[in-house]
Amino acid sequence: MGQTVYEAAEALRRVVSSASIGELSFPTSLDASRRVLKAVENPDIGMADLAKIVVAEPLLSAKVIRLANSVALNPSNLVVRDVRQAVVRVGMEPIKALAMTLIMDQLRQTQRHSGCRELSNRLWERSVHVAALSYVLARKLTRLNADEVMFAGVVRDLGRFYLLARAAEYPALLEDQTMLAETINDLADRAAAMVLNELDLPSTVVDAVMSSRRFSGTLPLANAGDVLFVAAALSPRRDPFDELDPRAVPASESAASLGLDQTTVSEVIAASGDEIYSIVIALDS
C-alpha cells in the first residue's frame, strides 16, 4: 500500500530536517544550462556576455561564485559577490565543465521531476522577473551593488527548487497540490538556508535571501533583503506556491502600502521598462 499524502508530506519534512542534503543537483532551468554550454563553445564570446548567460541558471551561477571564492582561485581572500566578477576569475573552461555536469544531472532527473514541471516552470519565470526588477530597484533607488542584488534574486528560490526535486520522490504528495504547496512553504526557509550554505555563498547574499520574506519597513530601501521583498511584491509573476496555499497572505502589490513613494517607484519602473524587459529576455531566452 502506498503512502498517504500526509505520510508523504511528513517524509519530506524529515528529509529537510536531516543534517546533510548531499550533493546539490536538481532541475531549475535545463534550457538555461544548455545556453551556457553553447555560449562557452563560442570562441568570440566575451566575459561580460557570458556572465549575462550564466546568471540565468541559479544553481550554476551559485557554483561559479563558490568556485571563484575557493582557496585555489582566491589566494588573496578577496571575496567575489556577483556573477560578473566570478566569471572573469574562473574562466571559460571550468564554467564549461560545470555547465556540462549540471546538464547531465538535470537530464538524469528530468523524468523524475516531470510531476512538478509546471510548478517549476512558473517558479522559474517568477525568479527571472524578481531578479530583473531587483536589479533596477537597487540601481535606481539604492547605493547597493545591483549585480549582487540581482544574483540574490536569481538564487532566492533555490531552496524551493530543491524541495520540488525531493517532492518528486513522493507521488502521493504530487497528487495533492494544496498539501504540496503548504509543505514546501513550511520548509522553504530551512531549505533555502541549507542549500545556500551548502553552496558556500557569500554571507551578504545568504543574508539578503533569508531576510527577503519579510519587509523591515525601513525607508529609503537600505538593504538587499528589502529590495528583494519589494521586487517580489511588485512582480507581475505571482508566486505559484502562495496561490495554492490557502494560508498564504499575498505580499501587497501596492508600493504605497509598503510605505514607499508610489510616484517614485512607478516612475522608476516605467522609465526602466525597457531595461527590465531586456534583463528578462537575457535571463529567459
pLDDT in tens, the chain (285 residues): 568 999 999 999 998 887 566 656 565 666 677 777 788 778 888 888 888 888 878 888 888 998 899 888 888 889 999 999 999 999 888 888 788 777 766 655 555 556 677 888 788 888 888 888 898 899 888 999 988 998 898 889 988 988 888 888 888 998 899 999 999 999 999 999 988 888 888 999 999 999 999 998 888 898 999 999 999 988 888 899 999 999 987 766 566 777 877 777 777 777 666 666 666 655 554
Task: Please answer whether residues 68 and 151 qualify as being in contact, where contact means their C-beta atoms are separated by less than 8 angstroms.
Answer: no
Q: Give the model's pLDDT for residue 285.
A: 47
Give the type of residue at 154. Answer: V
Tell me the per-residue pLDDT of 2-25, one tens digit each, with 9 for 90 and over.
689 999 999 999 988 875 666 565
Q: Give the model's pLDDT for residue 9.
A: 93
List the grid coordinates of 57. Answer: 541558471
Q: What is the number of domains present in the chain?
A: 1
Q: Choose among 279, 243, 239: nearest CA to 124.
A: 239
Segments forming the whole domain that contains residue 260: 5-284
Q: Give the model's pLDDT for residue 165.
A: 82
For 144, phi and psi rounded to 5 degrees? Answer: -70, 160
Per-residue three-class SS string for 63-76: HHHHHHCCCCCCCC
Query: pTM to 2 decimals?
Result: 0.81
What CATH code is carried by the domain that includes residue 262?
Answer: 1.10.3210.10
